[in-house]
Structure 1
């Protein structure tokens, strides 16, 4: 949606408006009403994810039978838990708004312009930060060249380092319609679903077809795909689509689940860094055929992806990989806006070390911002997302402690840092 598409609420009869936030004091989050006529009028642009009202009974995969999942729940109870989690994932995503002009401090009017100096407010979608815990943080940035930010991320983590964490990054396909809001909806649907599956055992190492991790991540990807579809105009020739890179942490266990070319890296403090994920791209197919990575990733079709989330997705079962880390380090989930400039794990680890040395003892949020700054300095030709988890303790988690923390995933803190421009 462009500015010209946003009607002036003060000028005659208007179509039903959509609002970025419910009215204050609303006790019915699923039944929005418009703010009072005298209140601030803030129509939502194309980055607003639609309300996803799905059918929990249809949340499971109806196209292929699923192997049984080992669980202490009775079959009916297990199905109920999965449906309840699917329903929890079906939530509207509200983006923060720029309410104060970053240039003069004046109020932003309904049309997106400052009432005091007349400057246009930056988009709230251009730069986002999440910092759910001291050991997990991320930055999602528009970059220097793209007109809008089609990357998205959603992070959750227990407060205590070494517990559980979820880091989801989605990169909207630039040539598809409304990929900015679809990627946002997909990332948050992932968070909502996993955070609500309190029946899951969080075993990240059993990736067999009948294993709980495989079943859980397959269903998570289907939920994310439904979120993309629900936030797409399916009549468009190229409806919204996006990648998915998901990293899970459970003590020293880490898992990568990906569709497309967003990536998961493990960067230890000592030892060689590694790429945990495998791209679904033309470049990766060339690499598998023996072409050198540097050559394959610099070709004309290097960023053509072969799997994704969206209407025409050929397969939404993510590629999984997991490992047990044996020492401290950084788990990095990123879009191609970052790894474009340092694809090889060793090269990217050197960048991480370089920017970390500029401010020793910096936390994940600061380091993520420095990585985004570095990518912008290289040209910033794409949207950039860097999400980090600091892994310290190499010991196996205590089962009793982990049972007590089964639901200890704190909701993300989203912060807006608009550029003055």
Structure 2
């Protein structure tokens, strides 16, 4: 839709949508590709580089956590030789009281290749974006790639609101288009981190969920997951894994056998320069009861895969943490580490109310 009251800029000028980069006409109120509000968003002629999500600071040169000695520039204690933890090993985000994330290296991995990025409006249940990316361990610089991808996707999804034509169905379609644009931005960010002639180019998974006034829309590439757990009622797995395990399950193999097979975690789609398809599979659910939105990497669901079982774990953990999202995400990470912590772990949660209270 075009309007004559958009200012004095010449009509017909082509500009890029600040959310997804799609070509639009100056004066349009909404982007036809992703539904972003153009009137209230700044016009840009080129995609804006997104800042990295999560901690990027070097290793601290403060006191050693083991003995209190001095940590040298190489990251090791000069007294006892213990390696100091990196900020990336364990970090948290909480953009609003009802949305939070904990990301952790786990017990077995030498670095944290998971990443996440969040955005949320202050009012509980109103508007939020949760993104999780899991770097593929066999690829080069997957930790850098996942961090860049999560930030880029979050920034696309957090710009404006996807309204469509104002009807519920068109609003969902607009959010889906925005998720597709976010996955493209995330893929571009991974490609940008990939060294030329890399023998094993950087790659990662992608899952994102958008909360928008009573609706959740989730999209994924790979095997990171999104779930909706109402306080009472059926738990819903909002994503479909792109993995060999998922293919075995679709062929009739019992979940427990499929997910413990040698190739269970071999993913069939991913983000990266060698990705053949990064369009996310999407699912939508209307929220009619209070509950928890969970977006996580396989470092959590590896130990509790079935939606009903994971819902029970989240509900019990949340109850013990007085329904505090940040404390609950941290407790779930602790639980996964207690099970063995064989992978990096990211847990992002949104506590969605019905009456406006967390």
Structure 1 unmatched ranges of 5 or more: 1-55, 396-421
8 Å contact 1:170–1:262 — kept in the other structure?
yes
Q: What pairs with 1:222-237 in structure 2 (closer than 5 Å)?
A: 222-237=184-199
With over 3 angstroms needed to count, the CA separation of the structure-2 counterparts of 1:198 and 1:80, relative to structure 1, is: closer
CA contact (8 A) 1:96 1:124 kept: yes
C-alpha displacement of 1:193: 1.9
Two-structure CA RMSD over aligned residues (Å) = 3.2
- 1:330 and 2:299 correspond: no
Match of 1:244 among 206, 217, 224: 206
Is 1:377–2:338 an aligned residue pair?
Answer: yes
Within 2, Cα distance between the matches of 1:283 and 1:256? 21
Quote the Cα distance in structure 1 between the aligned partners of 2:270 and 2:94: 27
Secondary structure of residue in 2 paired with 1:390: strand
Distance 1:302 1:82, change over 3 A: farther
Is the CA contact (8 Å cut-off) linking 1:89 and 1:190 kept in structure 2? no
The CA deviation at 1:112 is 2.2
Closer/same/farther in 2, CA of residues 67 and 161 from structure 1, 3 Å limit: same
Deviation at 1:73, TM superposition (A): 3.9
Q: 1:270: how far off?
A: 0.7
Q: How does 1:200-349 map to 2 (within 5 A)?
A: 200-201=162-163, 206=169, 211-349=173-311
Among residues 142, 148, 164, which one is paired with 2:105 in the alignment? 142
| Pairing 1:389-404 to 2, within 5 Å after superposition | 389-393=350-354
| Inter-partner Cα distance in structure 1 for 2:212 and 2:125 | 7
Q: How many residue pairs are counted as aligned between the two chains?
A: 331
Quote how far apart the aligned CAs of 1:159 are.
1.5
Contact 2:218 2:226 in 1 (8 A): yes
- When residues 256 and 394 of structure 1 are mapped into structure 2, their CA distance, relative to the original with a 3 A threshold, is farther
> Could you list the runs of 5+ residues in structure 2 that have no partner in the other structure?
1-15
Alignment of 1:177 onto 2:140: yes
- Structure 2 length normalisation: TM-score? 0.82
* Whole-Å separation in 1 of the counterparts to 2:40 and 2:351: 34
- Could you tell me how far 1:284 is from its partner in structure 2? 1.1
Shift of 1:304: 0.9
Deviates more, 1:116-125 or 1:223-232: 116-125
Deviation string 1:154-202 (CA, Å, 9 cap, x unpaired) is 111112212111110000001000000100000011122222x326328
Q: What TM-score, normalized to structure 1?
A: 0.71
Determine if the alignment matches structure 1 residue 367 to structure 2 residue 328.
yes
C-alpha distance in 1 between matches for 2:282 and 2:45 = 21
**C-alpha separation in 2, matches of 1:307 and 1:165:** 26
